[in-house]
Structure 1
């Protein structure tokens, strides 16, 4: 099955982790879904370009990846630039599609897979109308959750409804996201829920050896050592969009807990637009001067896995999550999680209290109580059970095979998907 992937987000020259969860879906489908794919991606350049458009067309990997970048301000006139950028986006996709057709000897893809709406879906809809190629939509975006849906314009909602209705299937990463979209009238006759991918070969428990833990890969080969921290250590991993991730709330709770837990440490991995402000806030709370909080910056996945392997618990205090990849990555490492009951998160923690503790968003006393329960040992989670559950839900083989089944059902015209 030759498949054309159209992602809104995908790792690119300016950020190799942007949309990496989409890249993991693509890789899992190629390896385990019996589908030969290609990726076509276009985005506004985040730096200067010599020409109006620059292309990176890579045919050397396991699947072709074509990336196109266009100027953020083509003319410097705001009223002209916005529609012009939209035209440039679709021109890039059209160019890439023609390039792929030549690479495939003139053959068309059997299926188009849209990853995150809306412009991607409009292009797929056009291909369906023009060449009869069916398309499926995958959605991850918190935009559709009640906490953010108010910002969706009427035009965007109408177009999104139209695109999703014409898709052969709508895939969401959680039931919560599917239901939130349906509440907005964005629904499809063939909905399916498939999890995000966790690299279970990389995210795995560490084995204790003296005062250190040995990090092993899936073949039992040592990949590193992490020191077993004497003080209790919390870990937070996110993009620094504080309105959504509420890291400032985590900082306030940790500031209150440190008196009861001398030596308590919070290690924060990530990056984003609110990083400077959050560092300042941590300093105001006195969390940097005494070493309670450490900002680790942007980490490669292997370093994140090592942090999870050593942490007492992962803490997430998000106001909106469609899935929460880091929650399942921590679970794959045998690391307990304290998170919020929002979006698609609760369905990942069934049965209640089996895989971690959930609190309501913005309930800082409840977060403090849940963290205290984990730090004190009042609640305990079996690392082997955590690991097994993450592997069953999110291992690349399981996710890739699920997409392969979805593709085959779409191409056979099966109306019984769900």
Structure 2
């Protein structure tokens, strides 16, 4: 049987300005590329976060298992907001179409067997157009928390309608949690087939260390600093309240994002920086995050919305318990209840404090080997890649 040629069109993907943007998409693609009988290529275009010598710059990487064409276009073209938005949309389309021609040349004139779009909406509209023009089936993967009930009010009506149209015409919909699939279904976004396939966790990198390596009474938080969603400010308040009962309590915070300066100031106002109760670690590469997880007593997340929560499973693979919120797809990761940590309601700071106190008190009772085995079974690259291979062959049977 000839290999299926999968063209990936991601909205988020690691690039020259941020090597962790859409990292979970890149991990999916690496798992797919490792499967026999599948050939992948990526075309990705985005607004440049820095100066460009030309209006558009291109990077081509054919060195790895997934040939990749990246395009960057200027953020400011005329200085007129509405006109610039239209021009940037046209530049995105032109870049991606240029990339499609490059991929076809790379595949010696052959069209893709299937188009896989990662995160809507413009990627899906293009895939829908290719379906009409070329008869190419397409698969939609969605990760975005905006479709969850907790954040759905932010979606304009036109986007809800177009999302439904694009997904209904897809050969398949993939989400990383049942909760997100159900949320999309509630908006009328139902495909002929739906698959729930987990995000990938590197269970070799994220693995338990020696018990002696664990720092006592040390919590770890890892996230992008979008405080309206991740609610790190709530974690800071809870840690400030726990200090009297837990002398020596520490919170180590890894991450970066638009609310970083605000969160630093807020931690200082709470008196958490002066005595080292809270330490901001900044943006860390994955090996450094894995080392922090092995040394933490527990991971804490207080998000108001999550479709999956990669860091929760990375902590589990590292043999560490988690305290997180009962939102979106998170409860699916904590079945059976109570086996892998504690879940609390979002914004319930009293419940978060009680759960953290319990996890700190029972720190020596977790079973790192069992936690790691569960994460490997759910999120190992081989299992995830095989699941995508099965989905592709269902979505493109004629090509297969």
Which residue of 1 is the match for residue 319 of structure 2? 334
1:144-155 correspondence to structure 2 within 5 Å: 144-155=147-158
Which residue of 1 is the match for residue 71 of structure 2? 68
Which residue of 2 is the match for residue 301 of structure 1? 286
Match of 2:310 among 325, 339, 342: 325
Deviation digits for residues 107-154 of structure 1, max 9, x if unmatched?
111111111100111111111111111110011000101121111112
Match of 2:368 among 383, 393, 398: 383
Structure 2 distance, partners of 1:315, 1:171, is: 28
Structure 2 distance, partners of 1:50, 1:159, is: 36
Say if 2:130 is the partner of 1:127.
Answer: yes
Deviation at 1:246, TM superposition (A): 0.2
Structure 2 distance, partners of 1:339, 1:73, is: 40
1:264-413 correspondence to structure 2 within 5 Å: 264-377=249-362, 380-412=365-397
Deviation at 1:32, TM superposition (A): 2.7
Q: What's the TM-score, normalizing by structure 1?
A: 0.93
Residues 1:168 and 1:265: Cα distance change in structure 2 (over 3 Å): same
Structure 1 distance, partners of 2:192, 2:111, is: 26
Q: Is the 8 A contact 2:224 2:230 kept in 1?
A: yes
174-183 or 150-159, larger mean C-alpha shift: 150-159
Q: Is the 8 A contact 1:235 1:314 kept in 2?
A: yes
Unaligned runs of 5+ in 1: 214-227
Q: Is the 8 A contact 1:38 1:65 kept in 2?
A: yes
Which residue of 1 is the match for residue 16 of structure 2? 13
Structure 2 distance, partners of 1:234, 1:272, is: 20
96-105 or 357-366, larger mean C-alpha shift: 96-105
Deviation digits for residues 261-302 of structure 1, max 9, x if unmatched?
100000000000000000000000000001100000000000
Match of 1:49 among 37, 48, 52: 52
Q: Is the 8 A contact 2:341 2:359 kept in 1?
A: no
Deviation at 1:380, TM superposition (A): 3.5
Say if 2:83 is the partner of 1:80.
Answer: yes
Match of 1:193 among 196, 209, 228: 196
1:237-252 correspondence to structure 2 within 5 Å: 237-252=222-237
Structure 2 distance, partners of 1:182, 1:56, is: 37
Structure 1 distance, partners of 2:76, 2:17, is: 17
Q: Is the 8 A contact 1:237 1:268 kept in 2?
A: yes
SS state at 2:346 partner: coil
Which residue of 2 is the match for residue 220 of structure 1? none
Q: Is the 8 A contact 2:170 2:192 kept in 1?
A: no
Deviation at 1:33, TM superposition (A): 5.8
Deviation at 1:58, TM superposition (A): 1.4
Structure 1 distance, partners of 2:385, 2:162, is: 29
Which residue of 2 is the match for residue 182 of structure 1? 185
Matched pairs, number: 396
Q: Is the 8 A contact 1:33 1:401 kept in 2?
A: no
Structure 2 distance, partners of 1:413, 1:346, is: 38
Which residue of 1 is the match for residue 171 of structure 2? 168
Structure 1 distance, partners of 2:159, 2:301, is: 30
Q: Is the 8 A contact 1:32 1:396 kept in 2?
A: no
Deviation digits for residues 6-49 of structure 1, max 9, x if unmatched?
00000000000000000000000011363110010000111111
Structure 2 distance, partners of 1:273, 1:297, is: 12
Match of 2:239 among 254, 257, 281: 254
Deviation at 1:84, TM superposition (A): 1.0
Q: Is the 8 A contact 2:297 2:363 kept in 1?
A: no
148-157 or 354-363, larger mean C-alpha shift: 148-157
Match of 2:43 among 33, 40, 45: 40
Q: What's the TM-score, normalizing by structure 2?
A: 0.97
SS state at 2:210 partner: strand
Unaligned runs of 5+ in 2: none
Structure 1 distance, partners of 2:264, 2:223, is: 14
RMSD of aligned alpha carbons: 1.3
